[in-house]
Amino acid sequence: MELTVDRVSKLYKNKIAVDRVSLRLHEGVYGLLGENGAGKTSLIRMVCGVLKPSSGSISFDGLDVGDEEYRAALGYLPQDFGYYPEFSAQDFMYYMASLKGLTKPVARAKTRELLELVSLSDVAKKKIRTFSGGMKQRLGIAQTLLNDPKLLVLDEPTAGLDPKERIRFRNLIARLGQNRIVLLSTHIVSDVEHIAGTILLMKKGKMLHQGSLEDITQVIRGKVYQCLMENHEAQELTRLYPIINYRSQGEKVLLRFVCQGDPPAGAVKVTAGLEDLYLYYFSEAEGHE
Ligand SMILES: Nc1ncnc2c1ncn2[C@@H]1O[C@H](COP(=O)(O)OP(=O)(O)OP(=O)(O)O)[C@@H](O)[C@H]1O
Ligand SMILES: [Mg+2]
């Protein structure tokens, strides 16, 4: 099983949203991580065949993204997925099943099985308008699974989930990634840190890094420090190093930063995580708050 993205670019007028991205994805969970506007949705929409690349090609096991068989292998949850508030969860599933061409008996059996899978069986007959954000997201995922897709693509599936729902979601994705390719986008670091075997880090349309958590944090390994200091000292340090976190602690500030050479006096080395890497790459855009 392989999804191949070969030097794919997307140009909107004169703005480059996706810049020569190449990927080879196999079974497992992939977390596409990037700040707002990085190009995640543009890339995902091209992978799902709803947006035409300006250049490059996309295929799944030899099937071109335009092929009907490619579509049949795909499950897609868009970022702005529209639910019908007056539908019950069950009716919504039947409706989506009919759009996907499933017969009534199959639709019924699948709906029962999938609502069970996403823990919505006991609210199957309740209207969607009464659902929490997390329940809607789980229903959204359930509908993507109606055709048992080999390629499952979820755009920002954890947006608006509370911590409990987030954990529930992670467990569901872990199960789903066992025999298919799951590609999910997010700008929440802890989501991918916990569920994605492979992290795809995207910035300004480019794929900066791809690899396991260990692989991609390699760049800053052993170079992350913390230091508690006076405000004026902190200002100075801010000019010298890429600051990845800046937190007031009473009169002082706690700085977390990346330092390539000898650290300043009083700095303590800390374990580099994905959050550090993310802030390291994106702090320029986010400001040193
Ligand atoms: N239809 C469009 N026309 C023009 N520019 C667009 C269009 N869609 C997206 N863009 C631009 O392309 C860039 C990438 O947008 P995209 O939606 O792919 O980013 P994203 O990573 O999904 O962001 P978010 O995290 O906010 O969902 C942005 O600068 C955006 O403004
Ligand atoms: Mg998006």
Q: What is the pLDDT of residues 216-256, one digit of tens each?
A: 888 889 999 999 988 888 888 888 887 888 888 888 899 89
Nearest CA to ligand 1 atom 24: 36
> Measured from the CB, is residue 17 less than 6 Å from ligand 1?
yes
Half-sphere exposure of 151 (CA within 13 A, CB side): 23
For the record, the structure tokens of 267 come out as 């700095």
Q: Give CA separation, 56 vs 13, 19, 102, 146, 199, in Å.
A: 17, 10, 33, 30, 22
Q: Which residue has the higher pLDDT, 272 or 9?
A: 9
Q: Tell me the pTM.
A: 0.88
pLDDT band at 287 (very low <50, low <70, confident <90, very high): very low
CA separation for the pair 224, 242 (Å, rounded): 10
187 lines ligand 1 (CB under 6 A): yes
pLDDT, tens digit, for every residue of 152-207?
999 998 887 788 888 888 888 888 888 899 999 988 888 888 888 899 999 999 99
Check residue 286 and give its pLDDT: 43
User: Would the pLDDT of 53 be above 80?
Assistant: yes
The single residue listed with the structure tokens 């080879």 is: 24
The CATH 3.40.50.300 domain(s) of the chain lie at: 3-217
Q: Is 37 in the pocket of ligand 1 (CB under 6 A)?
A: yes
- Higher-pLDDT residue of 242 and 115 is 115
Q: Is 177 in the pocket of ligand 1 (CB under 6 A)?
A: no
- C-alpha 100/C-alpha 146 separation (Å) is 8
Q: Which homologous superfamily does the CATH classification assign to the domain defined by 3-217? A: P-loop containing nucleotide triphosphate hydrolases (3.40.50.300)
Residue type at 190 in one-letter notation: S
Give yes or no for residue 40 having a pLDDT over 80: yes
Q: Which of 26-30, 203-207, 255-259 has the lowest mean pLDDT?
A: 255-259
What's the gap in Å between 270 CA and the centre of ligand 1?
A: 35
